[in-house]
Amino acid sequence: MESLLSLAFDNLASFDGGKIKKGLKQVEGLLAQICLSGPSSPRKQERERGREQAPRKVLADLSADPAFREFFKLQEGFEWNIAQRLLTTLDWLVVRGGDGQYDLLIVNALDLIQGALLLHPPSKALFSRSVHMNLLLDLLEPVNCPAIQSAAVATLVVALVDMPQNTRVFEQLDGLLTVTSLFKSRETGRDVKFRLTEFLYFYLTPETPSIPRAESRVNPAAPGLLQRSPSKLAKVFGGGVGGGGAAAARSSAAGANNASKGHERPGSSENGATLSVEAKKLLVDRYLPGVVDELLKDLDTYKPFGGVLS
């Protein structure tokens, strides 16, 4: 797997658009292989040849997949972390893509960042750094095409899910101003506004971290996950993929402790990392007065996202 990542990273680090496109395809192929189950016998191979798509693996089975365990272990280090490399490539594309020549590559990179974060949630910690959060917010500026804006909103949601620390960085960088300004603009297309509405629904839901805490592995009586709904990846993060679960938990706990020391906010929890719905309602109401109550009413009535965030 290291050799495949090395080839992909070499292409992503190139200053040639064609090689970057090839590198993105290589990363996409690697992530697809992890998400798709391969045939385990010659007879099964013959059956799979007649199908258009290979069957997807069940998330609960990932902890028993050696390929996924190896992937997760590699992602714990800086050298092989896919999300970090994609962010570096994305930054290069944004800086040099003012004329729109790299728009498709930017959208592709954003899609792959989402996949990398979903397969390795500890990588979301990258967005606790303002430089990476600012990169996403820059892509929400009106100068960008609707496809980039929509992909950036989707990536932003993935980066903030179960990461209150990242949400606080988003707020400190005036992310709400960026989102609501785009939402109110008459030039913003319907599809982008739909994505922004989904983001506001998400933002106004209760914040509850779902990264397993270190003490849950020491004390069996402690809950394995603190989350809105049970995660099928719990066995992966709590089961010890190369020690990654504990490392992520220690990092999450340390971040929460640091936040409690220096960033107390009204309506925040004891550790200073989370904000109550009422506190976030006041923040949104600064930019969209009179809209928040309707959004909260919709949340209670229609329960978007399948009700898992309610």
Q: Distance (Å, rounded) from C-alpha 172 to C-alpha 167?
A: 9
The answer to which of 40-49, 66-75, 224-233, 278-287 has the lowest mean pLDDT is: 224-233
Long-range own/partner contacts, residues 204-207 (CB < 8 A, 24 or more apart): 204/277, 204/280, 204/281, 204/284, 204/292, 204/295, 204/296, 204/299, 205/277, 205/299, 205/309, 205/310, 206/276, 206/277, 206/309, 207/164, 207/167, 207/274, 207/275
The answer to which of 4-13, 176-185, 201-210 has the lowest mean pLDDT is: 201-210
pLDDT in tens, 244-255: 433 443 344 344
With cut-offs at 50, 70 and 90, classify the pLDDT of residue 65: confident
Q: Residue 36 — left, alpha, or beta (φ > 0 → left; ψ -120 to 50 → alpha)? A: beta
What's the predicted TM-score (pTM) here? Answer: 0.75
pLDDT in tens, 98-140: 778 899 999 999 999 999 999 999 999 999 999 999 999 999 9
Amino acid 68: pLDDT: 87
10 Å Cβ neighbour count for 86? 28
pLDDT in tens, 255-290: 434 433 443 344 444 444 889 989 999 999 999 998
Amino acid 287: pLDDT: 93
What CATH topology corresponds to 1-32+62-310?
Answer: Leucine-rich Repeat Variant (1.25.10)
Q: Is the pLDDT of residue 44 over 90?
A: no
